[in-house]
Amino acid sequence: MTVKKILFALFFLCSILSGYSQSQHMKFLGIDLNCTMTTFVNKLKGKGFVQDMNTSHDNTVVMKGMFAGEKVKVEIKGAAKTHLICSVYVCFNLSTRYTYEALKNQLKDKYGEEYQEFNKIKEDEGFVQYSTDYIIWNTDKDPDNGNCNKVVLSKCSYRGSSPFVISYIDSKNSIIDLQEIKSDF
């Protein structure tokens, strides 16, 4: 084997291994978030979701469908220019059979015991205006920059239409969105 062939083989092997060490894109219902808004919406339609044209706008599409045996509203946010999916928010109805603890346990089973739990209280002139408990799971940490995909369970007492929201946040596409927005300045 020539030196060139050996170097090429080593370079090829290193590039494959570095690809495996990179963080993965977040998935929602088995759909990789590393796609455009149009592609993602079409894949969700294939799973029985229906687009809500009245509440969709700019880089946000709202769909309704079934998630974990419940009728939910799903808000999909895309990057400013490329429209790559940055995040998906699953908003449960007020009539949900799930409790915060039940959802927490389901997510803990899937994403593990490592999470951060927070309680934020917003007070306005001595009165509690709203409070939100939330839990963050960091997944697929990128070894190059330390960014992580995130799954966030929120208990929303200030949000009249949804008591619980599960957020799936893709770190790579969220960074792209910030770069696209900043490029205008």
Strands 116-124 and 149-156: unpaired
Of the candidates 113, 109, 111, 107, the residue with the CA atom closest to the CA atom of residue 155: 107
Q: Supply the pLDDT for residue 70.
A: 93
What single-letter amino acid sits at 90?
Answer: V
pLDDT in tens, the chain (185 residues): 543 333 233 333 333 333 333 457 788 999 988 899 999 999 999 999 999 887 767 789 999 999 999 999 999 999 988 999 999 999 999 889 999 899 999 999 988 888 787 776 555 565 544 557 787 888 777 666 667 888 989 887 554 567 889 999 988 888 888 888 888 88
For 98-137, b/e burial (b = at least 16 CB within 10 A) is eeeeebbeebeeebeeebeeeeeeeeeeeeeeeebbbbbb
Q: Supply the pLDDT for residue 155.
A: 84
> pLDDT of 117-165, one tens digit each?
777 655 556 554 455 778 788 877 766 666 788 898 988 755 456 788 9
Q: Supply the pLDDT for residue 106.
A: 93
Q: Please, is 48 exposed, middle or buried when counting C-beta atoms within 10 Å of its C-beta (0-12, 13-18, 19+)? A: exposed
Q: What angle do CA 137, 48, 112 make, to 5 degrees?
A: 15
Is the CA virtual torsion 90, 42, 79, 34 positive or negative? Answer: positive
Q: Supply the pLDDT for residue 114.
A: 83
User: Is the whole-model pTM more than 0.85?
Assistant: no
Q: Supply the pLDDT for residue 17.
A: 34
